[in-house]
Structure 1
Amino acid sequence: MMNCPICGGREVGKINVDQYYCWNCFVEYDCQNRIYQVDEDGSLVALGNGT
């Protein structure tokens, strides 16, 4: 399991094969550390491109 790239926390859930959700930051991210905010309608808004 991956730590959150924003807060470093381990309270994450696996959403898909390479996608995770941080319960501390309320964001989704993938294995390339691309970070997404979940919009009100459920769509994903890119917040970062990763490193």
Structure 2
Amino acid sequence: MDQLTTDNVEDWDRRMRHRQFRQAASLVAVTLSGWVYWAFVISQRISSGHIDF
């Protein structure tokens, strides 16, 4: 009985860590795509001369 409980706890812990990893990975992906988008927009505006520094 103790062995089963320990296995369940370890399995739950592994799943929680996997979920946290997926959340972190999706957050990084969103952040990176946001940076890429803004870099593209700013470079487009600079190349067309809309931004004066």
Please tell me whether Structure 1 or Structure 2 has the larger radius of gyration of its CA atoms: 2
Q: Same fold (TM over 0.5)?
A: no
More helix by share: 2
The TM-score, its normalising length taken from structure 2, stands at 0.15
Q: Larger relative contact order (C-alpha < 8 A, sep ≥ 6)?
A: 1
More strand by percentage: 1
